[in-house]
Structure 1
């Protein structure tokens, strides 16, 4: 593949946008250029009124090997390294704050910032041969930023074991820990992701946006604050035309017709 090939591919169909990391010769490592291309794609999808679901995929046998270590070694000084990690942090938070739900379609191994990428998505389906790891400790670079997403998806002791040992977990264990939703044979990955994306895309886009934002915000709150906040969200939701349409359709035993 030529180096001039797009670093991120976009394909839209039926309200679903698939964004594919396209640097397989480098195991889809997150160079500054790859992160910039993915950020641009997310920013464009965010304002596309037709798109209700985003699928994050990757070309080649590896989903994402994390940061581009060759590029990082060629970068001199604290300021340059800090800029790279801040760029990555913005990318990961963009996935969380994107109005559309994001499904990670994991066709291979995801390590370090690649594991962080999976953990930052709302949902994840992987092939049953995939492995997940935060192996930075093995090369003297603790996976501190991947830790943020990892520790918000799996139990604390499981996260610490992954971080302290650098050892990978297989897809079955990743399901058990809650890092991914399910693992499927490679031949079933496309259909499993398509079915999930299609099911979600059939919902109201406004309601999906409202619900995703509320989910992530309430997770950071105490119990009473979370209930107070979500009560406001549900009252706001009840005022939307799509809520009225959905309830009327349910009572009338017909399919709803969403505004968006």
Structure 2
């Protein structure tokens, strides 16, 4: 039996991009993919687009939520796959074989989580790369240095969520970072790194939409470190500084 991958998409008012995200999931060559879409009661025409693709979706929910992490938690709780990951409504898989690569890494039963690289692309033109996030391999002590893998490329066995918990919705911006610290730090997950771009992520997320959002993210990042007893102010500084090379590092050619 082939490994089943659940892909959760949280969406709110993304009529301009959500159809591309749906097509990106449908275009994956891996044969066992469960696509779960959680819509936060969109009002801009997103829901009719989702309904038009209803036969391609395992789950479609449209109702008010308490933010993106609440929506992602709803998706995780509805997932039936062996592995759970995410594709946001603005994002695209880099290639049709992205999930096949993830599945191949999970063929090793000792692997709890898999991640890869990510490129940030322009909002209006996803072929134009702005930043290249080469994650690199997970090493002991790297969390204390501010390292984290790109969360949109982070796939985890569903049993891990059952054992270690869902996103902590007290964090409005950094719940993904807190989750990674909890999983890789206290949880001690065994991880595999795929040295390839898995996802194209459009710029314009909540974490960098304004100065106040960036400040809030830093406060939340620091709180996540304190809760998980990993790192501190030096790690927070390094976490932010390590983003700078992403603007000058050249991404590999598109597959």
Q: Considering the TM-score relative to the shorter chain, is it more than 0.5?
A: no
Answer 1 or 2: higher relative contact order, Cα 8 Å, separation at least 6: 2
Query: Shorter-chain TM-score: what band?
Result: under 0.3
Structure 2 length-normalised TM = 0.24
Scaled by the length of structure 1, the TM-score of the pair is 0.24
Give the greater-gyration-radius structure (CA): 1
